[in-house]
């Protein structure tokens, strides 16, 4: 396994809609394993393939707390099949936007359908942090970022900050 570089705003690839995974092979499983290693090292609870510059509909997630046994999951071609009317407000961060936190209201419970790392179709009912993290990662697959939930003024301020940071790192 290898730790992969995580792309950050203002990289335009983050705004790309990811393509469906056509087949699950050894390369894709290796990518998922590398993404898990990258996510744990960051540290984060989720990581979409687009965040490591791979525009495929795939993300990894593990919302277990530090004391619990790790529960890594690989979701390939995920889609939400139902959402609760009840909402949950949660402060979200993102590995592609370090130090940016945004309070976002999302459905508290969802059902997600996806293929696992073996190509088997799965359906999972998620609530709480797991539901929030799945929706966050699905947003990445559609080119949407947490700053899109901010007012235009605040979003523009964050974008300017990251553009300035990117220029200073050149």
pLDDT tens, residue by residue, 9-32? 999 999 999 999 999 999 999 999
Separation CA 111–CA 36 (nearest Å):
22
State the DSSP H helix or E strand holding residue 65, giving kind and residue range, or none if neither. none
**Residue-range domains of the chain with CATH:** 12-168 (3.90.45.10)
**Given a cut of 80, is residue 170 above it in pLDDT?**
no
What integer is the mean pLDDT of 55-82? 94
Q: What is the pLDDT of residue 168?
A: 87
Measured over the CA atoms of residue 131, residue 133, residue 138 and residue 144, the dihedral's sign is positive
Please confirm, yes or no, whether 22 is among the known catalytic residues. no
Catalytic hit among 99, 125, 137, 169? 137
Q: How confident is the model at residue 166 (pLDDT cuts 50, 70, 90)?
A: confident
Nearest to 135 by CA among 59, 52, 69, 50: 59
Q: What is the pLDDT of residue 65?
A: 84
Q: What is the pLDDT of residue 66?
A: 76
Separation CA 114–CA 21 (nearest Å):
11
Looking at every residue in the chain, the average pLDDT score rounds to 95
In the chain, % of residues over pLDDT 70: 100
Query: The pTM is what?
Result: 0.94
């Amino acid at each position: 396994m290898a730790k992969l570089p995580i792309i950050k705003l203002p990289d335009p690839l983050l705004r790309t809609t990811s393509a469906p995974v056509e087949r699950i092979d050894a390369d894709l499983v290796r990518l998922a394993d590398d993404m898990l290693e990258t996510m744990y090292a960051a540290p984060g609870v989720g990581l979409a393939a687009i965040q490591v510059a791979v525009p495929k509909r795939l993300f990894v997630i593990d919302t277990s707390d530090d004391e619990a046994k790790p529960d890594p999951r690989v979701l390939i071609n995920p889609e939400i099949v139902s959402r609760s009317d009840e909402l949950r407000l949660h402060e979200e961060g993102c590995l592609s936007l370090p130090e940016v936190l945004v309070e976002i209201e999302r459905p508290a419970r969802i059902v997600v359908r996806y293929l696992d790392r073996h190509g088997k179709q799965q359906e999972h009912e998620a609530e709480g942090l797991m539901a929030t993290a799945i929706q966050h990662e699905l947003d990445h697959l559609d080119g949407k970022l947490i700053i899109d939930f901010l007012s235009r003024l605040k979003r523009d301020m964050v974008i300017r900050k990251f553009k300035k940071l990117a220029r200073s790192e050149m």
